[in-house]
Amino acid sequence: MKRYFIAVFVAFLSGVMSIDARRVEMNLLQTSDVHGNYFPYDFITGKNADGSLARVSSAVKEARKKYGANVILLDNGDILQGQPTVYYYNYVDTLAAHVTSAVMNYMRYDAGNVGNHDVETGRAVLDRWSRNCDMPILGANIIDKSTGEPYFKPYEVIEHDGVKVAVLGMLTPAIPAWLPETLWNGLRFDDIETTARKWMPIIKEKEAPDVIVGLFHAGQAGNMLAGYKENPSLEVARNVPGFDIILMGHDHRRECKRVINVDGDTVLVMNPANNGVVLTDITMAFEVDDNGKVTHKYIDGELRPMADFDIDAAFMVEFSPYIAEVNNYVNESVGRLTDSISTRDAYFGPSAFVDLIHRLQLDITGADISFAAPISYDANISAGEIFVGEMFNLYKYENMLYVMELTGKEIKDYLEFSYGLWANTMKSKNDHLLLFKEKPTDGDESRAMLANPSYNFDSAAGIIYEVDVRKRPGRRIKILGMADGSDFDCSKTYKVALNSYRGNGGGELLTRGAGIPHDKLSSRIVYSTDRDLRYYLADYIHKKGVITPEKLNHWKFVPEKYIIPAVKRDYKILFPEK
């Protein structure tokens, strides 16, 4: 099918068209989930980056040399959070021109979409960024509660050589399942398919476009999350006629394929994944008659690796002042670690890395129990002086810290659900400890082999417990008592420290696990910080001066005769020697 389509497309470009027709060629480029990777190195690790907008800029300039003005450049959200670059201009230097707006204006984006991590920065940052952008920010399903109308522009029409391309922008509506309302106060997030059905006839009647693009910060699989359909892009492509192209984001999964919608028309569906490593590159060719009407159109796309492009030197010169500012920020000393820490051991038992977060959460809040997970899949911080940049390695996201009231039974059920995502049911010492998608072998892509995201692998501190992997999920956890030696009571209410993502229902450990209805979660929150956890981690280390990381050893997998050989095997699978 693809080979046939490309053959027809090439033939068209070679001149197989009506003698009287005019040919128009366009190039549509999409970035998504850039997560602050504007420059070709990682400010967290101090290493060079494979992607970045510095390389994308070179690809865009190449396209503009080839197609002239007939290039459409779109971003599909999650651009405002991830690297220290954006954190600095989100929260530290709030007076300077925002680096994200400056970069997007320099690259001459035609439109941008909103992602969930953009909403997570808070209304002030989101509004500042959108105001400072030269292009429109889209969001047809982001509704201002006071007016009932879209808070951002619902769609944008881009016209080149008489050919009109309409871009309808939307965001996954599952924001309330992850983020506290304080970050999106006054807004609501409507269902994507319902909103697409609303705007499709309006766009067709009012604009009469030749191509309609859905720019959706949502992935393919339409899973339900707290009553919201998180990733319905593929369903919309099939169920809502009128789209020629659906550009996806959010799930960080590369995709380039065609689907057939309910009217029998072909829809091109693409996703460039994340961090500016790959660029969506779509070529569109049109046959236009003497009356200016498009009589034929041909659309094809590919994912282009940015490693094939040089860093844009002019881009780097333009933003050298920003780079210098961020370098100074990330190289500020916070304190010292006496020992190196890594998330690698967190998959197999207590971890000094995760337990440092537990210690902080318990110290700040005075809570009885702490829940935390290895937020970064494979993070390492070396012994010695620790700098601001490394704090982003220690804690990846801008989650706040909550204290919630949970019963002992809810705590146990929460942990049962967590370890059900995490650990396999072992029948012998030859089985895997970790829950993999399929039987893995050495050398396979390790992270992709895990059945579930590791940021949902919550352990607990403040209680002493065992996880018996011989038992099926739901019957594994045996709580032996509180860490202070007192009894643990399933009927008692405890104060539990956890991050705001989890406290708002993220990962469904509180809802599907502990059995608390989503609309009741907010009533369980008795305390919230007003700054992100990373800020408090840095402050904690700075005040202590020197930190000796150590395992709390509040839990363990059992039985040891199964665990010891399984850990050796599974560790090599997750972290193969290079």
CB 413 within 8 A of CB 515: yes
For residue 578, the model assigns a pLDDT of: 65
Q: What is the DSSP string of 147-159?
A: TSSBSSBSEEEEE
The average confidence (pLDDT) of the chain is 93
For residue 98, the model assigns a pLDDT of: 93
pLDDT over threshold 80, residue 14: no
* Helix spans in 133-252 (H): 192-207, 233-239
247 φψ region: left (φ > 0), alpha (ψ -120 to 50), beta (else): beta
Please name the amino acid found at residue 189.
Answer: F
For residue 222, the model assigns a pLDDT of: 72
CB atoms within 10 A of CB 355: 22
What count of Cα atoms within 13 Å lies in the side-chain half-sphere of residue 427? 0
For 477-495, what is the mean pLDDT? 98
Task: Give me the domains of the chain, ranges plus CATH numbers.
Answer: 2-326 (3.60.21.10), 333-574 (3.90.780.10)
For residue 4, the model assigns a pLDDT of: 36
Cis peptide before 350 (omega within 30 of 0): no
- The Cα-based distances of 37 to 169, 326, 362, 388 in angstroms read 22, 13, 33, 17
pLDDT over threshold 60, residue 424: yes
Report percent pLDDT > 70 for the chain. 95
pLDDT over threshold 90, residue 236: yes
Q: What is the pLDDT of residues 253-268, one digit of tens each?
A: 999 999 999 999 999 9
Look at residues 233, 146, 159 and name the one whose alpha carbon lies nearest to residue 195.
233
For 128-143, what is the mean pLDDT? 97
pLDDT over threshold 50, residue 575: yes
For residue 50, the model assigns a pLDDT of: 86
| Single pTM value for the model | 0.90
For 186-206, what is the mean pLDDT? 98
CA atoms of 447 and 557, how far apart (whole Å): 21
Contacts of 186 (CB under 8 A, 6+ apart): 123, 144, 145, 146
pLDDT over threshold 70, residue 484: yes
For residue 97, the model assigns a pLDDT of: 85
Q: 510 pLDDT band (50/70/90 cuts)?
A: very high
CB atoms within 10 A of CB 535: 18
CA atoms of 298 and 93, how far apart (whole Å): 46
The β-bridge relationship of strands 245-248 and 211-217 is: parallel
Q: 45 pLDDT band (50/70/90 cuts)?
A: confident
For 40-68, what is the mean pLDDT? 95
Question: Looking at beta carbons, which pairs linking 372-375 to residues 24 or more positions away fall under 8 Å?
Answer: 372/458, 372/459, 372/461, 372/498, 372/499, 373/346, 373/418, 373/454, 373/455, 373/456, 373/457, 373/458, 373/459, 374/343, 374/346, 374/347, 374/454, 374/455, 374/457, 375/455
Contacts of 163 (CB under 8 A, 6+ apart): 24, 26, 210, 211, 286, 288, 294
Which tokens belong to 283?
């070529």
Q: 35 pLDDT band (50/70/90 cuts)?
A: very high
For residue 18, the model assigns a pLDDT of: 55
pLDDT over threshold 60, residue 213: yes
| More confident: 236 or 397 | 236
For residue 438, the model assigns a pLDDT of: 73
Q: What is the pLDDT of residues 345-364, one digit of tens each?
A: 999 999 999 999 999 999 99
Q: What is the pLDDT of residues 437-451, one digit of tens each?
A: 875 544 444 556 899
CA atoms of 520 and 517, how far apart (whole Å): 5
pLDDT over threshold 90, residue 223: no
CA atoms of 152 and 127, how far apart (whole Å): 10
